[in-house]
Amino acid sequence: MERLGPRRLVAFDALAAVALVPLAVFRTPAAPVLAGGLAVLFGLPLALRRRWPLPVLTVVVVAGAVAVAVGVAGDAVVFAVALALYPPALCAPTRRAGAALVGALAGVTAGGVSATAVPGLPVVPIRPGEESFAATPVPVLLYAATVIAGSWALGRAVRARRQHAAQLAELRADRAVAEERLRIARDIHDVVGHSLSVIAMRAAVANHLADSHPGQGRDALAAIERVSRAALDDVRVVLGALRDPVDTAPSFAELDRLMADVRLAGVAVDLEVAPDLSRVPAAVQASAYRIVQEALTNVLRHAGPTRCRIAVAIGPGVLTVAVVATGRRGVPWGRPATACGGCANGRRCTAAAWRPAPRPAAGSPSVPGCRSPWGCPTMSEPVRVLLADDEALLRGALRLLVDATPGMTVVAEAGTGRAAVELARAYAPDVVLMDIRMPELDGIAATEQVTALRDAPRVLILTTFDLDEYVYRALRAGASGFLLKDTPPVRLLDAIRVVAAGEALLAPSVTRRLIAEFTRLPAARRVSGRLDGVTRREREVLTLITRGMSNAEIERHLHLSRGTVKTHIGRLLTKLAARDRAQLVIAGYESGLAGR
């Protein structure tokens, strides 16, 4: 009934109000005029019961009590009171609704008792065998109470259902807001985070190579300009979703500028646009523009084609956008690419495989000393590095940095986690620089598979954000280090040397987050008994390792010699069956030493 609409509900109330008058007259044939007059008093106000629920209920109850007392159509009175009680039960708070129920029952009961106990009542004679408040007061009162209480209960039930529906709608709205915030956060992470990480890495490389390789430094600056402009376009798209779409939504008029930006990035784009696109609604134009922009972004980031054809056509009530990519683009920095398995016949491939760099002969010059606080051992062969990141520009910056550093060389690049595993198996690098968020197989799962290989390389996680959910999982997967992409080039190169030498390395912010996370864990979730057989001094050393201290810092803290510290660390590696320092850190966390 609540779905009938306001006008139909008012019409229903008016019909019920009018119908009670002939019902009362029909049920009281001995006094039709009196019955009709009283029926007008307790029936017609029902037409206004939704606008003024409590006043209408008061009038109906008083008039109904009088009608019951004089013996006029008790069943009509019960129906009228039940109908008048429903709106207060539906709309009023609990206390007022309860008071309305008590008042309605009290009024009908008072009329029934008066008809039985007051001399001279009822005025209207009772027909033989007829049930009424005067002739059979108990069953009639029970019947009236049941009908009236049922109407009240129905109103309260509908009210509860409406409140529940409103709460569900509010929860859905909150969830939609949370999902939208998460989507925006992901967009900002993808657009701003990755772009800024590429810009930071490119700027650092340009600064690092400004004197020794000025040409490559200028190339890095040009890439910074290109990435920053693309990032600004993407940021405008993200922020446009938060503003009035009428004011900020892109249109087909901006496709030419988008095509020009893509052509500057090295992709030849052919644009075929149907005439008279101005009649397409603005919202449809914005959606089509973003579809084209997303497709071209994917082409630039992953596919590597050298030519794209974009066609925009209009049909009867339909707008068709086609983006077709063909061919393969040259690999960055001018090195020839080798297609990986399954990329023949022009199929898209997100992994750029590189020709392996040959290992130098034994006795090659050792790498220069580093400035890392962990210390970098001298190596007789260059450190062979595999780059795993879905951002081609970032891989290019890392390749330029590593290849320009004596004692290091990039042997392969991977754009997906699965490609990273395959290339690690094929090229046997010493160190894998692994991003966490990659297509096909994320960096953590790829790390597990890479560290399970025979003669497994060391994995150094290099990511944009030091999120709590990543750090521990990455170390548990076997990573030997965890650094942020905005790490200065000197520290990054030192970290590669440290990890290649079998040590472990964590960014200071990562160490702080790990300690905070493990101090929140209940004792039941920590591993007990793992430190059995570890001496008190070795526990002290392990505790300092979990805090991220280097060997030199442990020496100063415990007043020990360098050889003694290395001896304790070697014994810890043996007793805890740990492969490197990172696994010692995990053992310390799981044993509850991080919070000490």
Neighbouring C-beta atoms of residue 175, cutoff 10 Å: 10
Cβ proximity of 451 and 478 under 8 Å: yes
How far is CA 183 from each of CA 190, 321, 467, 496, rounded to the nearest angstrom?
10, 24, 17, 34
Q: How does strand 431-434 pair with strand 408-414?
A: unpaired
Using DSSP's 3-state secondary structure scheme, residue 354 falls into strand
pLDDT value for 119: 85
**Which residues are registered as beta bridge partners of 270?**
309
How many angstroms separate the CA atoms of 213 and 405, rounded? 11
Give the pTM: 0.41
Distances from the Cα of 479 to the Cα of 104, 309, 384, 419, 442, angstroms: 76, 42, 17, 18, 14
Give residue for tokens 């030493």.
593
Class in CATH terms, 521-590: mainly alpha
Q: φ, ψ for residue 98 (rounded to 5)?
A: -65, -40
Contact 64, 114 (CB under 8 A): no
The CATH class of the 350-515 domain is alpha beta
C-alpha pair distances (Å), 531 with each of 165, 259, 571: 55, 62, 12
The secondary element (H helix, E strand) that includes residue 8 is: helix 6-27
* 160 φ/ψ angles, rounded to the nearest 5 degrees: -60, -40
Q: Dihedrals φ, ψ of 372, to 5°?
A: -75, 140
Domain ranges of the chain: 6-119+132-170, 194-326, 350-515, 521-590
Give pLDDT, residue 590: 73
Query: How far, in Å, CA of 192 to CA of 189, rounded?
Result: 6
Amino acid occupying residue 264: L
User: What pLDDT is attached to residue 151?
Assistant: 92
| Model pLDDT, residue 150 | 93
DSSP letter, residue 299 = I
Q: How far apart are CA 106 and CA 122, in angstroms?
A: 18
Tokens for 235, please give them. 């940021």
Buried b (16+ CB within 10 A) or exposed e, 392-426: bbbbbbbbbbbbbbebbbbbbbbbbbbbbbbbbee
The pLDDT score that the predictor gives to residue 292 is 79
Mention every residue, 6+ apart, whose C-beta is less than 8 A from residue 486: 196, 197, 200, 201
Backbone angles phi, psi at 234, to 5 degrees: -65, -40
Q: CATH number for the 194-326 domain, one of 1.10.3470, 3.30.565, 3.90.1200, 1.10.1060? A: 3.30.565
Bridge partners of 408, per DSSP, are 383
User: Which residues, including other chains, have CB under 8 Å from residue 282's CB and lie 6 or more apart?
Assistant: 245, 246, 249, 251
Give 548's contacts (C-beta < 8 A, 6+ positions apart).
506, 508, 511, 512
Spatial separation of the C-alpha atoms in residues 294 and 169, rounded to whole Å? 32
Judge whether 194-326 and 521-590 match in fold: no
List the one residue out of 59, 83, 74 whose CA is nearest residue 109.
74
State residue 417 phi and psi, 5-degree precision: -65, -40
Per-residue confidence of the chain (596 residues) as pLDDT tens digits? 445 567 788 888 888 888 888 888 888 888 888 888 888 988 889 999 988 999 999 999 999 899 888 888 888 899 999 999 999 999 989 999 999 999 999 999 998 888 888 888 888 887 777 777 778 888 888 999 999 999 999 999 999 998 888 888 888 888 877 777 777 676 666 666 666 666 776 677 777 766 777 776 667 677 776 777 666 666 666 665 555 444 445 667 777 777 776 776 667 788 888 776 777 776 677 777 777 776 776 666 555 546 788 888 887 667 788 887 765 443 333 333 332 333 333 333 333 333 333 333 333 333 344 444 434 444 457 899 999 988 887 888 888 889 888 889 999 999 899 999 999 999 999 999 998 888 888 888 999 899 888 888 989 888 766 554 566 677 777 888 778 777 788 888 888 888 887 766 665 555 545 545 554 544 444 445 567 788 888 888 888 887 777 788 888 888 888 888 888 888 888 888 776 677 777 777 777 776 55
CB 68, CB 42: distance < 8 Å: no
Residue 307 CB contacts under 8 Å (≥ 6 apart), including other chains: 267, 268, 269, 270, 325, 326, 327
Residue type, 561: S
Q: Is 121 exposed, middle or buried (0-12, 13-18, 19+ CB in 10 A)?
A: middle
The DSSP letter of residue 253 is: G
